[in-house]
Amino acid sequence: MSDPSDLISNQPPPPVPACTPTLPGFTCGLDATLRVIAGKWKPLIHYFLAQGGPTRYGELRRAIRDVSDKMLIQQLKELEADGLVKRTDYKEIPPRVDYSLTPLGVSLAQALVPLCTWGTENMAEVTRVFAQREAWNSMRKQQVD
């Protein structure tokens, strides 16, 4: 149904294509993709793995500031379950494990590039807006007190 290339076709307004989706559970390709990379640390993990950064667990742990063991493991496991990341256990003592992107992970990384670019180009705009939103949120919180 939702061919994403329609996203930019500024063609004449077609009759409302009633959202007939969800044969498998996703409304469109975009939806599926977002569910796969949604997660507080997944973009960063992807970022490191894609550019050949740290690959061992502990390295990732130290490279990504403020991430906890629980979260890092959790997100890595999900990425692995989703087929984006491959875990290699060398079964040594002390333990040695490293992580890398699968071909699927690499292809996703490539699809993410324009999004990264957009974010960088509009960084000022986006940060400004988020600062505003958070300021407003904290105002409301203080009124509750």
Residues making contact with DNA (CB under 7 A): 38-40, 56-59, 61, 66-71, 73, 76-77, 87, 89, 93-97
Cβ nearer to DNA, comparing 94 with 114 = 94
Closest CA to 29 of 4, 11, 59: 4
Binding range to a second copy, per CB under 8 A, among 49-57, 68-76, 89-97, 137-145? 49-57
Closest CA to 97 of 77, 70, 68, 67: 77
Q: What is the DSSP letter of 100?
A: E
**Residue 25, token pair as written in the block:** 């559970």
Cβ nearer to a second copy, comparing 91 with 101 = 101
Using rule CB under 8 A, residue 111 touches a second copy: yes
Using rule CB under 8 A, residue 139 touches a second copy: no
Number of other CB atoms surrounding residue 39 within 10 Å: 16
